[in-house]
């Protein structure tokens, strides 16, 4: 009933049935592991296997970390691809707009704006590539730490077999004494049952008046032999327990030394995870790329506020289509320049603490596209002037 309720609850919060089943299987496995080792002495029986299972189990932990980082990297790449696709779509669309209504500095400002996602995508691509290198490096380290088992697809820590053999050798004498004690206790139980039977038989014969004295004597001797046999077994158990206790102390020293070696190996694994988490987080979540991102924004805003000029656009249009008035255009241009100068001074004051960097690739792309536009505008102007002359 409780398991059904748990599954229903997980389904309600969005878990699929496969994920639910997998989670329950993992929980059951973890509970089984805890029951196997938790609360028991490391030095009891073959509990040394716990540290070996810990080392080998680190492979799946490492693979989970790789999967997490790769999922993030894939999400980042998807975002990059969508940004590029989005930017390219709008660059194409703006270039195809009517030259009668889309022209000169305002058109270039639009193009600069829709190019910005491309620039942002380039920045994210650098971030993605660095993260991918971190993943590749960590995967290589994990493969070195957990090589493939021969003729198998499973992985074990490269030192597990060596440590397992050391534990086995250290435990062998104690294991032999443990087996001997188990056998002696079984013999003790058999001897005790035999003595109980002999005692009962002797009491029955002694209470029977018609039984001969020889039978009673034989029964008593049999009783004594079985009692002596039981006593011998008990004394052997005491001697073996003393040997076992002594050997257990020796084993504890040997096992502790081997455990310390395993502990160093486990620390290497944990340190590798920790170092990788730091490297990944520095590249994925830090503010390292915010400065460059801000520079993209500042560069765009500078162009939009200082290079885009409505009066220039109007004069360009008027000149292209034969209605240009130089006197009106000049006075309007002076007023506009004063406004732009004021805005530029204010903006420079705000940016005085920031360094200026130029994205060469982006500028080259902008220049090429601007030249194409100017060529298109020139062609339009020539055609318009020819029509006016006619």
Rounded CA separation 356/52 (Å): 56
Q: Which residues contact 366 (CB under 8 A, 6 or more apart)?
A: 111, 112, 115
Measured from the Cβ of residue 22, the count of other Cβ atoms closer than 10 Å reads 12
Q: 325 with 384: CB under 8 angstroms?
A: no
**Which pLDDT band holds residue 286 (cuts at 50, 70, 90)?**
confident
Please indicate, yes or no, whether the overall pTM of this predicted structure exceeds 0.75.
Answer: no
**Residue 144, pLDDT above cutoff 50:** yes
**Which pLDDT band holds residue 159 (cuts at 50, 70, 90)?**
very high
Kindly list the distances between the CA atom of residue 360 and the CA atoms of 51, 119, 199, 355, 357, in Å, as whole numbers in the listed order: 56, 11, 106, 16, 9
pLDDT tens digits, 28-53? 666 666 677 777 788 888 899 999 99
**Residue 123, pLDDT above cutoff 80:** yes
Q: 109 with 307: CB under 8 angstroms?
A: yes
Rounded CA separation 122/76 (Å): 12
Q: How high is the pLDDT of residue 45?
A: 84
Q: How high is the pLDDT of residue 9?
A: 32
**Residue 384, pLDDT above cutoff 80:** no
Q: 152 with 111: CB under 8 angstroms?
A: no
**278 token code pair:** 């730091």
Question: Mean of the per-residue pLDDT values for the chain?
Answer: 82
pLDDT, average across residues 340-350: 51
**Which pLDDT band holds residue 203 (cuts at 50, 70, 90)?**
confident
Rounded CA separation 309/197 (Å): 117
How many percent of the chain have pLDDT more than 90? 59
**Which pLDDT band holds residue 385 (cuts at 50, 70, 90)?**
very low
206-243 residues labelled b (16+ CB within 10 A) or e (exposed): eeeeeeeeeeeeebeebbeebeebbeebeeebeebeeb
Rounded CA separation 105/374 (Å): 10
């Amino acid at each position: 009933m409780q398991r059904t309720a748990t599954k229903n609850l997980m389904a309600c919060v969005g878990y699929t049935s496969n994920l639910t089943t997998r989670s329950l299987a993992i929980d059951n496995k973890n509970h089984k592991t805890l029951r196997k080792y938790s609360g028991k002495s490391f030095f009891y029986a073959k509990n040394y296997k716990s540290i070996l299972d810990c080392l080998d189990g680190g492979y799946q932990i490492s693979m989970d970390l790789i999967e997490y980082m790769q999922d993030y990297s894939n999400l980042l790449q998807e975002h990059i691809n969508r940004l590029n696709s989005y930017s390219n779509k709008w660059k194409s669309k703006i270039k195809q707009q009517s030259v009668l209504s889309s022209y000169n500095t305002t058109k270039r400002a639009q193009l600069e704006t829709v190019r910005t996602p491309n620039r942002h995508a380039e920045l994210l691509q650098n971030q993605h590539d660095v993260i991918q290198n971190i993943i590749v490096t960590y995967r290589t380290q994990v493969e070195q730490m957990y090589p493939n088992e021969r003729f198998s697809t499973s992985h074990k820590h490269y030192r597990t077999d060596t440590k397992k053999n050391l534990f086995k050798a250290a435990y062998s004498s104690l294991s032999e004494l443990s087996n001997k004690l188990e056998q002696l206790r079984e013999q003790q139980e058999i001897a005790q049952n035999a003595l109980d039977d002999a005692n009962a038989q002797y009491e029955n014969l002694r209470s029977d008046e018609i039984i001969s004295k020889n039978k009673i004597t034989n029964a008593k001797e049999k009783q004594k032999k079985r009692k002596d046999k039981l006593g011998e077994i008990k004394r052997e158990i005491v001697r073996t327990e003393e040997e076992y206790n002594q050997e257990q102390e020796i084993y504890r020293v040997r096992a502790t030394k081997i455990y310390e070696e395993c502990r160093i190996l486990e620390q290497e694994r944990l340190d590798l995870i920790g170092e990788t988490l730091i490297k990944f987080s520095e590249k994925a979540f830090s503010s390292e790329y915010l400065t460059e991102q801000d520079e993209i924004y500042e560069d765009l805003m500078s162009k939009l506020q200082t290079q885009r000029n409505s009066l220039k656009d109007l004069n360009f249009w008027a000149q292209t289509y034969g209605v240009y008035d130089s006197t009106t255009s000049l006075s309007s241009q002076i007023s506009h320049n004063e406004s732009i100068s004021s805005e530029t001074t204010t903006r420079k004051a705000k940016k005085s603490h920031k360094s200026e960097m130029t994205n060469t690739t982006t500028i080259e792309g902008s220049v090429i596209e601007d030249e194409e536009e100017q060529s298109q505008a020139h062609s339009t102007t020539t055609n318009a002037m020819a029509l006016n002359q006619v």
